[in-house]
Amino acid sequence: MMSSKPISLNLSSTNPLVDRSLLPTSDFIWANRAVVHCADVLNFCFGNERHLSVHEWQDVGSRVRSWRDESPSSFEPIFYKERSVLEKEAFPEVWYSMACHGK
């Protein structure tokens, strides 16, 4: 994201590591799905193909919301604290119960 470039990985459906489904599975696979969704968004924004359609952007957003809605409850943070503007913090503090949830 910081370089404004698309992801240069094979994200096709023929790659066995790429899973865009929402079927029940382990938290580790749900975490991999989140990474794939993130890569899809980056490729949408910075890829070589021009995406000018609002419908296409809404479709990307819909897939991300579906992941969030269907993911296991274990992906809910066990602790959340808003970032402190006074302390010049860039991000909130978020704790999860497993490393795969937040890395």
Handedness of CA 82, 89, 45, 47 (dihedral sign): negative
Buried b (16+ CB within 10 A) or exposed e, 49-65: eeeeeeeeeeebeebee
pLDDT in tens, 4-37: 777 777 777 777 778 889 999 999 999 989 988 8
Return the SS3 of 95. strand
Q: What are the residue ranges spanned by the domains of the chain?
A: 27-102
What pTM was estimated for this model as a whole?
A: 0.77
Question: Rounded to 5 degrees, what are φ and ψ at 51?
Answer: -115, 100
pLDDT in tens, 43-95: 888 887 766 688 888 888 898 899 999 999 998 999 999 999 999 999 999 99
Quick one: CA torsion of 93, 99, 100, 101, rounded to 10 degrees?
-30
Distance of alpha carbon 79 from alpha carbon 94, whole angstroms = 6
Distance of alpha carbon 65 from alpha carbon 92, whole angstroms = 20
